[in-house]
Amino acid sequence: MSESEKEKKIFLSYCGSRDQELLTGRKKMTLGDMERFSFLTEFFGLESYGLNLWKEFGDEVEEPLDALIKLLDEWEYENDTWIDDDGRLERWLVEFQKHAPTKEKREKLRKMIDLKYKKRGLPYPTEADFD
């Protein structure tokens, strides 16, 4: 089994049902989904699988990605901050943990996230942070 396959198996074991449907091709992947999965796989140290996600689903998101890049290249959007949604990454972490399939998996994710945040001197993100 390759490193990417091992990482995929680990990642899928923590995914909620919607994410599993996306990652197994039963639901259509969006650019937003790919961005979220890229962040999550990198955050949890699953870089090999994160790269293979783009190989597997890149064609599905190529058109909206090209449109977004073109839009961002236009000068009138140069100083827009809508793309820098404060708290977006933390929301992804909280949601991913919340939808893990078992209490044990949710607790393990919480510990991994908490450890990384403590190393940065930050408190664990919670849903209350996004109200």
What one-letter code names the amino acid at 5?
A: E
pLDDT of residue 86: 64
pLDDT of residue 111: 93
Element (H, E) at 13: helix 3-14
pLDDT tens-digit map of 13-37? 999 999 999 999 999 888 888 889 9
CA-closest candidate to residue 40, choices 111, 75, 91: 91
pLDDT of residue 83: 45
Q: Alpha-carbon distance 112 to 96, whole Å?
A: 12
Q: Alpha-carbon distance 37 to 90, whole Å?
A: 13
- Any residues with CB less than 8 A from the CB of 124 and at least 6 apart, and which? 110, 113, 114, 117
Helices (H), 15-126: 17-23, 31-43, 47-73, 88-98, 103-119
pLDDT of residue 41: 94
User: Quick count: other Cβ atoms within 10 Å of Cβ 84?
Assistant: 7
pLDDT tens-digit map of 64-108? 555 555 655 665 555 544 444 567 888 899 999 999 999 999 999
